[in-house]
Chain A
Amino acid sequence: DTGVSQNPRHKITKRGQNVTFRCDPISEHNRLYWYRQTLGQGPEFLTYFQNEAQLEKSRLLSDRFSAERPKGSFSTLEIQRTEQGDSAMYLCASSSSGNSNQPQHFGDGTRLSIL
Chain B
Amino acid sequence: AQTVTQSQPEMSVQEAETVTLSCTYDTSESDYYLFWYKQPPSRQMILVIRQEAYKQQNATENRFSVNFQKAAKSFSLKISDSQLGDAAMYFCAYRSSLNNNDMRFGAGTRLTVKP
- Cα of A103 to Cα of B44 in the assembled complex, Å: 14
Across the interface, which residues of A come within 8 angstroms of B100, CB to CB?
100-101
Question: When the two chains form the complex, which single residue of B45, B99, B104 contacts A91, counting CB atoms closer than 8 Å?
Answer: B45
**B13-21, B64-72, B74-82, B105-113 - the one binding chain A:** B105-113
- Cα of A44 to Cα of B93 in the assembled complex, Å: 11
- A-B contacts, 25 of them at CB < 8 A, read A4-B44, A40-B9, A40-B107, A41-B107, A42-B4, A42-B91, A42-B105, A42-B106, A43-B45, A45-B101, A45-B102, A45-B103, A48-B102, A56-B99, A58-B102, A100-B97, A100-B100, A101-B52, A103-B50, A104-B47, A104-B103, A105-B47, A106-B45, A106-B46, A109-B44
> Which positions 1-53 of chain A face chain B at CB distance < 8 Å?
3-4, 31, 33, 40-45, 48
Across the interface, which residues of A come within 8 angstroms of B93, CB to CB?
42
- Cα of A40 to Cα of B104 in the assembled complex, Å: 15
* Closest chain B CB from A69 CB (angstroms): 14
Given that A43-B91, A100-B33 are known contacts, is A107 also in contact with B44, CB under 8 Å in the complex?
Answer: yes
- Cα of A105 to Cα of B47 in the assembled complex, Å: 8
- The residue in chain B whose Cβ has the minimal distance to the Cβ of A106 is B45
- Cα of A31 to Cα of B101 in the assembled complex, Å: 9
- Cα of A100 to Cα of B102 in the assembled complex, Å: 12
Residues of A at the B interface (CB closer than 8 Å) are 3-4, 31, 33, 40-45, 48, 55-56, 58, 91, 100-101, 103-109
**Chain B interface size, under 10 / 10 to 19 / 20 to 34 / 35 or more:** 20 to 34
- Cα of A31 to Cα of B95 in the assembled complex, Å: 15
B50 touches A108 (CB 8 A): no
- Cα of A41 to Cα of B5 in the assembled complex, Å: 11
B50 touches A56 (CB 8 A): no
8 cross-chain pairs, A with B, having the tightest CB-CB distances, nearest first? A42-B105, A106-B45, A48-B101, A100-B100, A103-B47, A108-B44, A101-B33, A42-B91
